[in-house]
Amino acid sequence: MTTALAFEALLALLLLWSAWQTLATPQMDRAVIMFIVFGLLLTLVWSRLQAPDIALAEAALGAGLTGTLLLDALTAFRQPNRSAKHGRVLAAFRRFPALLALLLLAAALLTSLTRLPLPAVDLPAAVAGQLGSSGVSHPVTAVLLNFRGYDTLLEVAVLLLALTGILAVGLPAERPLLSLNQLVPTLARSAVPLMVLAAFYLLWAGAHRPGGAFQAAAVLAAAAVLLNLSQLQSRWLPTQHWIRLVVGAGLLLFVGIAAALLAGGGLLRFPPGQAGLLILLIESGLTVSLAVNLAAFYLLRTSSSGQWAGQEDSHE
Amino acid sequence: MSSGLLFAAVGCLLLVLGVGGVLLLDHLVRRILAFNLMGSGIFLVLVGLAQRSGRIDPVPQAMVLTGIVVSVAATALALALARRRYADSGSTTLQDKARREDRHD
Amino acid sequence: MIEHLSTPLVWLILLPLVWATLAFCLGPGRGALLGLSGLGLQLLCAILLAVEVAPKQTVTHLVGGWQEPLGILLVADGLSVTMLLLTQAVSLPVALYAYSYLKQGQHWFWPLTGFLLAGINGLYLSGDLFNLYVTLELIGLAAVGLVVTGGAAGQVTAAMRYLLASLVGSGGFLLGVALLYGCFGTVSIRLLTSLIGSQAPLAVWLAAAVMVAGLLLKTALFPFHFWLPPAHGGAPAPISALLSALVVKASFYVLLRLWLGPFAGFVSPLAWLPALLGSLAILWGGCQAIRAERLKMMVAYSTVAQLGYLVLIFPLFGTGSHAMQIGLLQATAHGLAKAGMFLAAGTLVKASGSELIDGIATMAGRLPVTLFAFGLSGVSLMGLPPSGGFLAKYMLIDAALAVGHIWIAVIVVTGGLLASIYVFRVLRLAFLGPGDERQVALQPVSAVMEWTAFMLAVSAIVLGLAAMPLFRLLEGVAG
Amino acid sequence: MKSLELPLALFLLINLAAALIRATRGPTAADRMLAALLFGSTGVGILVLLAFVQRSFALIDVALTLALLAAISGIAFAQRTWGLTGRSRQRRAVEREDDHAFR
């Protein structure tokens, strides 16, 4: 018992410390590294909290995609790496009221945790009770795609929307760093097939154990990013046109199934008999389109065609 | 103290750290990092509180999965804006110009 | 079967999602016809829904067929239907205007607008706090993408600022959701309303505080308004119209729902606080609008001021007055008038080639329809009869005096005076100002742009004469 | 019943803490990079141990995913810091002031 507590306490301290370092270290490079470390520690926390689905998503997105996106953005800032601010103490005092408010908020939040009422609604029991008619046997997947599938539908729209927003912001014309290092292509040759395999495994696993479309898509997207970093795929790089079609098709498939189920009496109302099959269909479609969507966050900005504000791919 | 409650408390601290970072720091990438810390803190509160009795609750876990995807989307858009801002003005912060814009109508 | 398929409530969310996705696949600058026909159908759905809701008070839809707390409930009552009607009624003419204004350029207006409307419609229909969070994010990201449309460097800064404010705002909201779920084990608004009494534990107080703060930040209520003027003032005119008329109302609606729903038991003694901020917003926004040099910036600061009126109703809840009717009338009147005004301002800027207020001197004779639209919108914003703005402000003063809140009446009158200063400043210049030397350069503008603005402004006026149907819709709403 | 998995996980976590100190103190970019890579493998080890402690074999999937993906951000970092394109030379000169011990 005490070992468990010591483990958790140390994990908590490390998490807070890496978070603090992310904000406080003067160099942006180090800040991003500390953030990636933070993501790793957070994966451990989620595992400790018996939330392997979240741990998977955090591991795949945090370590793979977000970190790469952040480092890529730093590369675009071609200027000395240091933060401009040096008079930190002085700046802090100027912002004293805000800091005070934040401290008060922290104190109030921590105090409130000591006197929580007992939940009046027992939702885990409700989920367990209806799990049989949800079409899948893993409760998190049941919530994500059946009980609260509408949230997931909107969430897929948020991802597509973010991609639209990025296109609206405009893409840089230049290509970022080239690699002359032989290590990366070698690594990519062995890792990418494994990653694709892992993605399909996660997709398949989602129905009855932790995993599912999002985690699978994140791993696939990471594979695409690795291919891009390794420069193996220069002939393969999809045009913006195809990216848009695939990403849009995933959302349309989801909306289409949701709307078709209206005939049965409700939006996303899966008939218990076909629920498993329909959820698998949605998840498979989403895996591909979400993977392309996530990868596009990175790949679009490295495609060689493009100008700031209003670019068009050559295929149109 | 259950592990759920412990990590909920850690989540509260992360959240405050993150909000402070988004509001008070200058460098845009740093503020985006802070936003991510804030989000992670909230997710920990959500799952930690729900599981404070030690029982697994799939509903907040599914909500956090949704939340993570939403914050990845927001991060990607924010980074694109930060890069565009740098390309337009050579600045990695909002401060200098924005202050003036606020004053002048 | 057909009966199920034709649920207008669900289609209000699905239609914009579908046409936005199709427009995204088509590519930049494309999808206008899809969008316009989708918007037409949405307006039809909103009207059908209103017809359905009017006798029954509420219409619900169980998504997935699951009851709360397991599933997500979609609810349409008088309040949400009013906002839905406003949303579709404003966005259709604005989209027509945009079709003419933006042409076929390299922009992503259509998919962004589609997702924005899916988010807004979804928000008005949602009965679930976490679902509201997702719709808030959908709205926030779409709005940021729209602000950046057009591509000027200043807009990028404004969009970044807007994005950070929006993300912190929805972060506060989500923290509240997390705390409430921890306390009660559900995120259903209906269940939470029955579970939270007047003796709330500290965590629920905190949840209320962070959610209200987050929503006020998203609504841009003074002193959280800092991000609004550059974002709304800098974006292309049809986008400014959407943002000012619709987007800020969405987070206000959530605030209203929470204030009158789950938090009603313990927040009512604090109603003076938002009202105080609202008063400051009216004064500050009015003064800044008077000082503004750029036309659209003036209109944006006018939004800051007009948002203040919305929260002035909070101390009137539970006093037996028609606070909800007043608030919704103000929201509707402002939505129509502000959309009309931004569109008219956009036409003036485009025609004169100058963003400055001084640039529109003696435009009255040359763009009479647009100037008339601007003036009519101004009439509603100032609160002159017979406009919707007049009726809302008159009823507000009446209700405030009835319960002895004289200060609210004073603020409303002062705000009207400030509004008349900035509106007449523009009109005076347009009709009487010097500027013969500018006679030559006038860009041509399409009739669509002129008449859509005019139509919106006229509806803001007509609303004052025909507000009864609106009040009847709202009869069954709590508050 | 006393098992060794959790104490071992704690030991690995202490290792991770040491690596974290190395990563923040530097002094060279290589130190930080190596420390960051060490995190990945230590994290995988902890996850596998936790899988046995909590009897949740899904955590092995997490370990697998982490092992596959930890390399990517490492590569991205390496390319950023030591990517040998022409235009990054100027920036490297700046960084050499910070990290002159390397190379």
Where residue A273 falls among pLDDT bands split at 50, 70, 90? confident
Cα torsion angle, C88, C89, C95, C96, sign:
positive
- Kindly state whether residue B103 falls inside one of the protein's structural domains: no
Helix A275-302, helix B58-89: angle, nearest 10? 20
pLDDT score recorded for residue C20? 97
pLDDT score recorded for residue A311? 37
Cβ contact A155–B27 (<8 Å) = no
Touching partners of D (3+ C-beta pairs < 8 Å): A
Looking at the predicted structure, is the pLDDT value of residue A316 above 80? no
DSSP D42-80: HHHHHHHHHHHHTT-THHHHHHHHHHHHHHHHHHHHHHH
Between CA C175 and CA C169 the distance in angstroms is 10
Where residue B88 falls among pLDDT bands split at 50, 70, 90? confident
Looking at the predicted structure, is the pLDDT value of residue C466 above 90? no
Cβ contact A177–D40 (<8 Å) = no
Residues C52-69, mean pLDDT to the nearest whole number? 90
| Amino acid letter, A239 | T
Residue with tokens 């209520």: C221
- Kindly state whether residue B105 falls inside one of the protein's structural domains: no
Where residue C152 falls among pLDDT bands split at 50, 70, 90? confident
pLDDT score recorded for residue C387? 93
Looking at the predicted structure, is the pLDDT value of residue A185 above 90? no
Determine phi and psi for C126, rounding to 5 degrees. -85, 140
Print the domain residue range for B66: 3-94
Residues B13-17, mean pLDDT to the nearest whole number? 96
Over the stretch B28-84, which tens digit does the pLDDT of each residue have?
999 999 999 999 999 999 999 999 998 899 999 999 999 999 999 999 999 999 988
Where residue A239 falls among pLDDT bands split at 50, 70, 90? confident
Q: Which helix (H) or strand (E) holds C58?
A: strand C58-63
Cβ contact A42:A27 at 8 Å: no
Where residue A306 falls among pLDDT bands split at 50, 70, 90? very low
pLDDT score recorded for residue A302? 59
Share of chain D above pLDDT 90, in %: 20
SS3 of A10-58: HHHHHHHHHHHHHHHCCEHHHHHHHHHHHHHHHHHHHHHCCCHHHHHHH
Between CA A39 and CA A42 the distance in angstroms is 5
What are the beta bridge partners of residue C128?
C188
Cβ contact B73–A142 (<8 Å) = no
Over the stretch A108-157, which tens digit does the pLDDT of each residue have?
999 999 888 888 889 999 999 999 888 899 999 999 999 999 999 999 99
pLDDT score recorded for residue C268? 86
Q: Which residues in chain A have their CB less than 8 angstroms from residue D77's CB?
A: 29, 32-33, 71
Residues C17-32, mean pLDDT to the nearest whole number? 94
DSSP C25-46: HH-TT--HHHHHHHHHHHHHHH
Residue of A nearest to B88 (CA): A308
Looking at the predicted structure, is the pLDDT value of residue D33 above 80? no
Between CA A155 and CA A289 the distance in angstroms is 13
Residues in Cβ contact with C445 at an 8 Å cutoff, skipping those fewer than 6 apart: C347, C350, C351, C367, C370
- Kindly state whether residue B40 falls inside one of the protein's structural domains: yes
- Kindly state whether residue C362 falls inside one of the protein's structural domains: yes
Where residue A238 falls among pLDDT bands split at 50, 70, 90? low
| Amino acid letter, C151 | G
Over the stretch C5-16, which tens digit does the pLDDT of each residue have?
678 999 999 999
DSSP C225-274: GGGHHHHHHHS-HHHHHHIIIIIHHHHHHHHHHHHHTTTHHHHGGGTHHH
Q: Domains in chain C: how many in total?
A: 1
Range with top average pLDDT, A217-226, C183-192, D32-41: C183-192
What are the beta bridge partners of residue C119?
none
pLDDT score recorded for residue C3? 62
Residue of A nearest to B84 (CA): A169
Please report the number of interchain residue pairs, chain A to chain D, with beta-carbon separation below 8 angstroms: 173
Count the residues in chain D: 103
Looking at chain A, the number of H-run helices and the number of E-run strands are 13, 0
pLDDT score recorded for residue A277? 92
Distance from CA of C68 to the nearest CA of A (A): 10
pLDDT score recorded for residue C21? 97
Determine phi and psi for C74, rounding to 5 degrees. -95, 130
Between CA A47 and CA A53 the distance in angstroms is 9
Cβ contact C201–A170 (<8 Å) = no
Share of chain C above pLDDT 70, in %: 96
Q: Domains in chain B: how many in total?
A: 1
Over the stretch C214-243, which tens digit does the pLDDT of each residue have?
999 999 999 999 999 999 999 999 999 999
pLDDT score recorded for residue A94? 66
Average pLDDT value over all residues in chain A: 84
pLDDT score recorded for residue A78? 65
Looking at the predicted structure, is the pLDDT value of residue C184 above 90? yes
Q: Which residues in chain B have their CB less than 8 angstroms from residue A294's CB?
A: 72
- For the ranges A155-159, C150-154, C267-271, which has the lowest average pLDDT? C150-154
pLDDT score recorded for residue D30? 67
Instruction: Give the pTM.
Output: 0.93
CATH code, domain with B78: 1.10.287.3510
Task: Give the C-alpha distances (Å, rounded to integers) separating A267 from A255, A277, C61.
Answer: 9, 17, 8
Residues C411-438, mean pLDDT to the nearest whole number? 86
Print the domain residue range for C438: 271-479
Q: Which residues in chain B have their CB less than 8 angstroms from residue A147's CB?
A: 59
Between CA D38 and CA B70 the distance in angstroms is 30
Between CA C57 and CA A58 the distance in angstroms is 44
Between CA A298 and CA A295 the distance in angstroms is 5
Cβ contact A287:A202 at 8 Å: no
Domain coordinates in residue numbering, chain D: 2-102
- Kindly state whether residue C427 falls inside one of the protein's structural domains: yes
Task: Give the C-alpha distances (Å, rounded to integers) separating A14 from A7, A11, A18, A33, D20.
Answer: 11, 5, 6, 14, 8
Over the stretch C295-332, which tens digit does the pLDDT of each residue have?
999 999 999 999 999 999 999 998 878 899 999 999 99
Over the stretch A15-67, which tens digit does the pLDDT of each residue have?
999 999 999 888 888 888 889 889 999 999 999 999 999 999 998 887 778 88
Q: Could you give the ipTM of this predicted complex?
A: 0.93
